Amino acid sequence: MPDLDDVFAGLDRLRIELPSWGFADTGTRFGKYLQDAAAITLEDKLDDAAEVHRVTGCCPRVAVHVLWDFEGEEAGDATQMATARGLRLGSVNPNLFQHQCYRLGSVANEDASIRRRAIEHLLRSVELGRAIGSDVLSLWFADGTNYPGQGHFRRRKRWFESALREVHDAMPASMRMLVEYKPFEPAFYHTDVADWGMAAAFARAAGPRAKVLVDTGHHLLGQNIEHIVAFLLDEGMLGGFHFNDRHYADDDLTVGSIDPYRIFRILFELVQFERESDQVLPIDYMIDQSHNLKPKVEAMIQTVDTVQAMLAKALLVDVEALESARRAGDVVDAERRLADAFATDVRPMLGEWRRRHGLPTDPIGDHRASGHVERAAATRLGRKPSSGGSYA
């Protein structure tokens, strides 16, 4: 049976990367919902990320989005801003979906000049990563088609393979490529990287430092994500996670807000693998959420708190008893080993871990009392293009 030291050691190792874009004003395809304290500049985003790290103790890295964070920002300035806040810049996320030229695809566009433009953007993103000391190039593509006959599937596949191989070959030896997948949206007939198998095939074609990125919201309803995670682990192809949640489709809901048991089961697959292999997995844990209604910083703290709690529960599974039940064919007892750990109230345990690390035992409460939101609103509201407050 795992003891408290095992759980605390697992929590000590947990590092979660925050998304810079998760602190900015966002919305739906119908429009943005503005918040007075939402970040505007990269410096604002780093201030908010530093607040999340202050109260959680496990978020020292911030993912950056090339077009949203570096227009007018020098890489050296960004690195210094992060360092001054006790942070470092993390994964580099290119943008191959925002410009009008990509409406029919980026690296899978029929127009060779647009494909070249997309590849050059990816190569510049590699250089940006080199300049800021990033070791991860995180790739998500909106490429796909909306109607039958619109695209040539196999030709588009070959263009993807060629582009990813060229970018992989340009990466420094310290950098890894993570290939994300999504079954649909914005393309509604086919998506070029639609599932984990396609992502794994593209990663293998790219080169040995390319792996698969599993976004927990990018799956069809009813899909067994922990099975996918286990399969990728066994293939040596799991590179990282984008944590979020969803109910119907797409993502961006707070982790565990809809199905915390799923996050627990996913994390248990990782815990089980590490215990059986006696190694710490080289996996990047990242959040990919953009909250329209919840306060930005508060939602991130809530998400990190949930991941910590689900990891603690996963570390409490009695693996020896579970294996004994499996060998005996005791289906009920095997399931109970997971259910019992998930039902454990780990809040006192997390409180003790936080006390030992000099962290607030109530991260959201401490954040609310800190005045961070009020200070941010006071300095940011006047810089927003529209005024009058969040509900104007």
What's the one-letter identity of residue 209? Answer: R
pLDDT value at residue 50: 98
11-24 pLDDT tens trace: 999 999 999 999 99
Strand, coil or helix: what is 26? strand
The predicted model gives 101-115 an average pLDDT of 97
Cβ-count burial 141-161 (b if 16+ within 10 Å, e if not): bbbbbeeeeebeeeebbebbb
For residue 13, the SS3 value is: helix
**Per-residue pLDDT tens over the stretch 196-211:** 999 999 999 999 999 9
Alpha-carbon gap, residue 165 to 155, rounded angstroms: 16
pLDDT of amino acid 392? 42
pLDDT recorded at residue 377: 96
Mean of per-residue pLDDT scores for the chain: 94
Which token pair is 19? Answer: 């998304």
DSSP-assigned letters across all residues of 204-269: HHH-TTEEEEEETTSS-TT--HHHHHHHHHHHT-EEEEEE-B-SSSS--BPTTSS-HHHHHHHHHH
CATH topology assigned to domain 15-317+360-383: TIM Barrel (3.20.20)
For residues 59-88, give the mean pLDDT.
Answer: 90
Mean pLDDT value of segment 371-389: 83
| pLDDT at position 391 | 39
Domain ranges for the chain: 15-317+360-383
- Compute the C-alpha angle 222/140/178, nearest 5°: 90
Task: Give the model confidence (pLDDT) of 119-137 as tens digits.
Answer: 999 999 999 999 999 999 9
Q: What pLDDT was estimated at residue 388?
A: 41
Residue 288 has pLDDT above 90, yes or no: yes
